[in-house]
Structure formats: C-alpha cells, structure tokens
Amino acid sequence: MTSFKATGLGPEILSAVADLGYKAPTPIQEKAIPILLKSNSDLIALAQTGTGKTAAFGLPMLQRLDPNRKVIQALILCPTRELALQIVNDLASYSKNIAKLKVVAIYGGASAERQIQQLRQGAQVVVGTPGRTKDLIERKELDIRDIEWLVLDEADEMLDRGFKHDLDAILSSTPKDKRTLLFSATMPEHISEIARTYLYKPKQVSVARLNSGAENVSHRYYLVPPRERYRYLRQLLREMGDMYGIVFCRTKRKTREVARRLRRDGFSAGALEGDMPQNKRDR
C-alpha cells in the first residue's frame, strides 16, 4: 500500500494528515491524488460514500491553491447542507498548517446575509449546495470568474434531488480554463451527459463496483411484519447495547412517533425531519 508521502503531497499537508491519524491513503486517494497533483486534467472518480473522497480531491487541491490570492479559487458543489459542513470541517483540518487559507460554506435553510458577509471577508474555497450557490451568483455576491477548481461531489445525488437546472446555470458561469472533478457513486446516463457537456478529456478512476456499498460498512436486513417493526427495533437496540445509530422512517409523522416511543422506552432519541427549523436541526 502506498504512503501519503509517496503520492507527492508536501510537508504541510502531510503533517496535518498525520495529526488526523491517517496511516495510508484509501484506494480512491491513492489513485486520484497523484493525478490531481501532477496534471491539470479533468477527472471522473467513481467511489462510494465512506471511501475518503473528500481527502482524494481536497488534499491535492489545497496544496495547489495560492493562499496569498484573495479570490475564490475553488468551488465545491454537494447535495446537502450536512455534507457541505462536513467538507468544510475536513478541509479546515487538512489546511491547518497553511496560513491565510479560508474555506466558507454556503447552503439553504440558514441566513444568506451571514454567508454573504463571510464571502465579503474573503475566501479561497467555497463549498455550497446548488440552490444557494446559484442564488448568490445571481445576486452578484459570489464571484466564480477566477476559479481554477470545480468539484461536483456526489453528482448523482445532486441530480436525483432535482438540481440539474441549478448545476447547468452554475457550470455555465465558470471559466473555461478551470479543471472539473466529478465524484459519483454511480454513472447513469444523466451523469454521463454532465461529463460530456462540462468535462474535457477527463481521466477516470474507479475503486468500487457500481452500485455497491463501501467496504467498511456491513449490511444486514430483517423481514418483519409492519405491526411488529417497532418491537423488533427496540429489541435490536437493546441487544446492541451502547451505540449510536440512525433510524430512517418513510414519513415525518412516523419519524416523530418512533422517536417518542424510543424515549418512552428509555432510549436517548431525537427526531430529525423536514418540518424542523434550521436552529433545531443544528442542535
């Protein structure tokens, strides 16, 4: 297995990576990092969630940015607010030894004015969801004319969520001489269309079978009659003991009901659903 040093990363990034406890690059990092460090090619990377995609594009990108240039040099688009914040936190950890480099997140469901203020204070990297990104571009509060890196993270998920129009509007506003990186778990036709339209002679790396899960995630399923589901869920949680987990429900009403019943039965549980205001989600 290759070491991070062998990929070509510099001492500032390597020190941050070591502090995070990373021992060796994951397969997607091992394949993508040298390409992104040594060339200016566009890239299509097929990899599942949980395979280290953020470091795969983030580490080489941060090494090649110029922290002394007070303009936005990289735009990273992703489908959800939660992923945007996760990427920002990861990039902040990777770049802690790079002075003057600033990363800003922009996303819906939160104050646009506060995000605008952060942009006005200067940033080299912006991580955003398509809707808010398009909105701030149209309001001339987000200037992407000088970006050198455009990353589409979880591109298939963005299209599945209906962001095709927003993506087209954003991508058509970017300079032609940037490099574009497309990360996706799958490669259906609508992703291929995006690649044909906006990427130029991209290199391609793949580390997993299409539509397969991440190797570090195990899977089990149980066939349970609908009326027995809660009882089986409660029993399963008791058997697993002290653990953290997420229970997905089909409706907002069912989400609240399951959380209430779990609390009644002694579990520390909370509901997270679409009708909740952003400040409660943050808690």
Could you report the per-residue pLDDT of 107-163, keeping only the tens digit for each?
998 999 999 999 999 999 999 999 999 999 999 999 999 999 999 999 999 999 999
Q: pLDDT-based confidence at 278, cuts 50/70/90?
A: low
- Given its phi and psi angles, is residue 11 left (phi above 0), alpha (psi -120 to 50 degrees) or beta? alpha
Question: CA-to-CA distance for 59 and 9, rounded, in angstroms?
Answer: 8
Q: How many CB atoms lie within 10 A of CB 96?
A: 15
pLDDT at 241: 82
- In terms of Cβ atoms closer than 10 Å to its own Cβ (0-12, 13-18, 19+), residue 226 is exposed
pLDDT of residue 275 exceeding 80? no
**Distance between CA atoms of 68 and 24, rounded to whole angstroms?**
30
Strands 203-206, 74-77: pairing kind:
unpaired
- Mean pLDDT of the region 174-197: 92
- Across the chain, what does the average pLDDT equal? 91
| Residue 199: pLDDT band with limits 50, 70, 90 | very high
Answer whether residue 281 shows pLDDT above 90: no
Predicted local confidence at residue 158, as pLDDT: 95
pLDDT tens readout for residues 245-254? 899 988 888 9
Q: Rounded mean pLDDT of 236-244? A: 85
- The model's confidence at residue 216, banded by pLDDT at 50, 70 and 90, is low
Q: Which amino acid is at 243?
A: M
Q: If 0-12 CB within 10 Å is exposed, 13-18 middle and 19+ buried, where does residue 141 land?
A: middle
Taking residues 185-206, report their average pLDDT: 92
Positions of E strands within the chain: 43-46, 74-77, 103-106, 125-128, 149-153, 179-184, 203-206
Assess contact for 63 and 86: CB atoms under 8 A: no
Going along the chain from its start, the domains and CATH numbers come out as 5-206 (3.40.50.300), 226-282 (no CATH)
Q: pLDDT tens-digit profile of 65-106?
A: 999 999 999 999 999 999 999 999 999 999 999 999 999 999
Can you point out the beta strands (E) in 148-202? 149-153, 179-184
